[in-house]
Chains A and B, each alone.
Chain A
Amino acid sequence: MVDETAHARTLALDVPGWPGHHAGQHLDVRLTAEDGYQAERSYSIASAPEDARVALTIERIDDGEVSPYLAGDVVVGDAFEIRGPIGGHFTWRASDGGPVLLVGGGSGLVPLMAMLRHRARAGSRADARLLVSARTVDDLLYRDELERLASAMDGLSITTTLTRGTPDGWKGHGRRVDAAMLGEVGPAASAAPKVFVCGPTPFVEAVADELVALGHGAAAIHTERFGPTGG
């Protein structure tokens, strides 16, 4: 278990018989209370397919039912049921190549991180651009690992933006993702990148709309939305 931020924890699971997964897939977790009551939720897989353990990074939702348990109460050695991997759409394989544009908001970074970890473990040098949006610098997931990945100079560029204030000396952006930022991060629509956008619904709606307006083909834009919304 690794505490990533004050609100998010990574669990590395030993899964007997895990059949392997593709980066971007998720799994279902089922918890059973002593009285037989069950709760199930889906979580993105954070680890690369090459990793021995299946990692989940879970952000605690204060009024949630499952995430406060997984991100707070669970201890090493606890067991629960999982099912997966699930999902064949929001996935990227090193053999797919580039260019690829990944845009993550908050814990929407998790499945994108699986793709970048897979890219690194597979030795891919595919043109990959990651744009991450977080509220504050303390909310940024995987910060040190992302810096290490970006410093490999193997074709990955990482841009970060903070929406609720930037610390002194901050080199990234300090506003919500907009068309200018997406254009700057690239690749251009003419390069026909595969695009993956994951985050809270309003974030994904806004980013996907901007990408369409920038000329990216709707079929190339893969989205995963989560969280409460009135839509």
Chain B
Amino acid sequence: MPPFTRGFHGRPRRPDVDPARVPPGQYVVEDFPVLSAGPTPRTPIDQWSFTIQGAVDAAQTWTWEELNALPQETFTVDIHCVTKWTKLGTAWTGVSVDTLLEGVGTEAEYVSVHADGGYTTNLPLEDLSDGKAWIAHTFDGEPLEPAHGGPARLVVPHLYFWKSAKWVRGLTLTVDDEPGFWELAGYNNYGDPWREQRYWGD
């Protein structure tokens, strides 16, 4: 325990928040902050597609209509941003990454996620499978707004939210781990909020 900060008391503890749902160093927000490294891309859905490629038997691409024709899941999760905010009970609708990976043959163990605007982020393939990740297009029952990653973003709620790439356009399966945009800019390669893996060396 570090020495306490003279005169700092913090906000009254919120009885409505279950502390077991808030990772260390996080605070709960009611709004939905926006963080992006550049301008918000706006891709019309008739020009949008999603591709799984790289170290796979055959690349696969879905159009917007094809993605929406797949089985849809609505899920409610807590999300945690490395900039310290946590938003509890966010409700999304989208396609499980498991659904997209059905029929994809690969020996790869890593994924490089790519998105409009040139953003990339990397994570182990196992962190996208077995019900842990979705391509989401609906937030709180409404189409996902561009500032929050619409028309579609990856949602990987068990990792810091920069892994949940906005404006997602595909997954490149890779044999070797390939650090992405923030991972090359000082942020942790994995990003587990419960272990406070914020930055290099955490």
Contact = CB atoms under 8 A, between A and B. Distances in A.
By secondary structure, the A interface counts as mixed
A38 B22 CA distance: 12
A205 B39 CA distance: 7
B186 A223 contact: no
A82 B23 CA distance: 19
A34 B6 CA distance: 8
Interface size class of B (residues with CB under 8 A): 35 or more
Contacts of B6: 78
B8 A69 contact: yes
A218 B84 CA distance: 27
Interface residues of A, number: 45
A65 B27 contact: yes
A221 B33 CA distance: 20
B20 interface: no
A229 B31 contact: yes
B195 interface: no
A40 B84 contact: yes
Interface in A202-231: 205, 208-209, 211-212, 218-219, 221-223, 225-231
Interface stretch (A83-91, A93-101, A164-172): A83-91
A124 interface: no
Contact of A79 (B3, B11, B35, B40): B3
Interface stretch (A25-33, A109-117, A137-145, A174-182): A25-33
A87 B185 contact: yes
B147 A30 contact: no
Interface in A66-89: 69, 73-75, 78-81, 83, 86-89
By secondary structure, the B interface counts as loop
A42 B33 CA distance: 14
A65 B61 CA distance: 46
Given A65-B10, A205-B147, A223 B37 contact: yes
Interface in A117-162: none
A73 B38 contact: no
Q: Which 9 A-B pairs have the closest CB atoms?
A: A88-B185, A208-B39, A231-B147, A31-B5, A31-B8, A228-B31, A65-B11, A37-B10, A33-B10
Interface of B: 1-11, 13, 25, 27, 29, 31-41, 83-84, 117-118, 145, 147-148, 181-182, 184-186, 199
Given A78-B5, A80-B5, A231-B145, 15 more contacts: A30-B2, A32-B4, A37-B10, A41-B84, A42-B83, A42-B84, A69-B7, A75-B7, A87-B186, A219-B38, A223-B39, A225-B36, A226-B33, A227-B33, A229-B33
11 contacts: A33-B4, A34-B9, A41-B84, A79-B3, A86-B199, A88-B185, A201-B34, A205-B147, A221-B39, A225-B34, A229-B34
